[in-house]
A and B are shown apart, each in its own frame.
Chain A
Amino acid sequence: MTSHYIVDSDAHYLESLPELAEYIPDNNPFKQRFKRSPGKMFPSSGYPDHYMYGRIQRDEVGYLKGQMVPEDIPTAMEIVGADAIVVITQKMLAFARLGGDDERPELISNAYADYMLDRVVDPKEGIYALLVLPYQDPERAVELIDRCGGEKGFAGACMICGGPEPPFGNRKYDGIYEACQDAKLPLVFHAGGASLDYFYIKGYEKFIETHTLGFLWSNMSQLVSIVIQGVAEKFPGLKIVFQESGILYVPSLMARLDAEYLKRASEAPILTKRPSEYMSKFYYGTQPLDEPRSAEYFQKAIEELGGASQLLYSSDYPHWDYDPPSAITSIPFLTEEEKELILGKNAQKVFGI
């Protein structure tokens, strides 16, 4: 426990699918499908056991029993020591892999928005959620932003990474970016667990391998697309956040993109500055915080990605690799002011909390 004001900018809530089904219109066949076969509504997010067959435990909340209840969130906040929390529903992390059923993403996103507003979010208690957008159908995503983006309980909107086709730099998504910019809704790109199976299917044998690669691939692939296709140039007022791939991939990707850009600038004429300069204005969730061997390297890397002003403390609780605030407070080179920024002030500014 610390004396800082702490905003946990990314935690998760494992919802009850039958309860969620109540928020689907009565005459829609998906309502029955949800109730009768809830396990078939979302793809799996990985074969191996994230919790290493009992080694990692999360008994404080109902997560590992298969369902959390709204009352678990204050418990999670107490465990993490958070004064405010921004949650994404667990099942929506597989959202990027919803392929067939044209209607399903839109239907689920809307049901979730209503469910979270009705049952979970409570701004007075510091409990916020993200509006997960059905980016597969951008027009419907904009309608959802128009319908719910002004709700105080939604701290921002969210696009789940994990292999959207086409990737998020495509003009197909412009309407979403414009709507978020106009509504002053920060847009969180969240790595998707659904990308893990790809590596597993391809022959990687252990979760340690697929998890390392999958989350990086999720975010790096979308960062590249967004930066090179000029999303930040086209929508300069849009606040962009990337969550859940640690932070050290950012300066590496900056350097690689800059090297590519200097060689191939004619392929990105929309850009008016180096890719790294756009990326240093984005925000990055800290979890799962990297564990570099050298503090000097870590310090330089944070400076390179834009400094403490661009980092948002995230716990990812109750997931297996969650970070308590001590992941930040124990960083030896950060000043007290920088810790305050990362632990809460940056998130308060970005999310308007």
Chain B
Amino acid sequence: MTEKIKVCHREELELDTRKVISVESGKEIGVFNVGGEYYAVENACPHRGGPVCNGQIQKEIRAEWRGPGNRIEETISSIPTIACPWHGWEFKLETGEHIGDSQIYVKTYEVVVEDDNVYVIC
């Protein structure tokens, strides 16, 4: 049974801002507008339960290696991530996957915009 929960009016979630809401089950969900894309994740890091939604948002660092003797080139991808401020566990906002181990993830939720309001489906 899913529930559509209103987060706020679209104008209240400006570009590159976030809102953390409490839902009835007692959970907190962070809703993000990153570059015009909306994401929502549970505000509980699977590591130690830290407030992951309060963390820094950045793009995932990728490695490229051009063969023996070359430095491993680190580049910034287009994939947004959030890092839990307690210990740095870092998750892809889109899928919730930990960037180092896809078996670990933070729960994500669908975000919809209807009638200029932002909702999460949970």
A-to-B contact residues, CB < 8 Å: 171, 174-175, 177-178, 229-230, 234, 261-266, 268-271, 273-274
Contacts and interface: CB of A to CB of B under 8 A. Distances in A.
A262 B69 CA distance: 27
B99 A263 contact: no
A277 to B, nearest CB: 9
Given A234-B68, A263-B89, A269-B74, A274 B62 contact: no
Nearest to A175: B68
Interface string B70-91: 1110100000000000011110
B72 A261 contact: no
Chain A CB within 10 A, most for which of B61, B68, B89: B68
A265 B98 contact: yes
A269 B90 contact: no
B100 interface: yes
Nearest to A138: B69
Nearest to A277: B101
A263 B87 contact: yes
Most A C-beta atoms less than 10 A away, residue of B89, B90, B101: B101
Most A C-beta atoms less than 10 A away, residue of B72, B89, B90 = B72
Given A269-B61, A269-B74, A263 B88 contact: yes
A198 B6 CA distance: 64
Contacts of A262: 47, 89, 98, 100-101, 104
A180 to B, nearest CB: 11
Nearest to B101: A274
Contacts of A266: 60-61, 90, 99
B100 A274 contact: yes
Nearest to B87: A263
A240 to B, nearest CB: 16
A269 B70 CA distance: 15
B63 interface: yes
A37 B89 CA distance: 57
A56 B104 CA distance: 51
13 contacts: A171-B72, A174-B70, A177-B68, A234-B68, A261-B100, A262-B47, A263-B87, A263-B88, A263-B89, A265-B98, A266-B61, A269-B60, A270-B72
Contacts of B101: 262, 265, 273-274
A262 B71 CA distance: 23
Contacts of A174: 68-70
Contacts, number: 52
Nearest to A179: B68
A229 B74 CA distance: 12
Nearest to A235: B68
Contacts of A270: 63, 65, 72
A171 B100 contact: no
B99 A265 contact: yes
Given A177-B68, A234-B68, A269-B60, 15 more contacts: A171-B68, A171-B72, A174-B68, A174-B70, A178-B68, A230-B63, A230-B65, A234-B65, A262-B98, A264-B88, A265-B90, A268-B100, A269-B61, A270-B65, A270-B72
A229 B99 contact: no
Contacts of A271: 100
Contacts of A171: 68-72
Contacts of B74: 269
A174 B90 CA distance: 30
Nearest to A233: B65
Contact of A269 (B63, B68, B71): B63
Contacts of B69: 171, 174-175
Contacts of B63: 230, 269-270
Contacts of B98: 262, 265
A269 to B, nearest CB: 4
A274 B98 CA distance: 11
A177 B68 CA distance: 9
A229 B72 CA distance: 9
Nearest to B104: A262
Contacts of B100: 261-262, 265, 268, 271, 274
A75 B122 CA distance: 74
Interface in B28-43: none
Given A262-B98, A262-B100, A269 B62 contact: yes
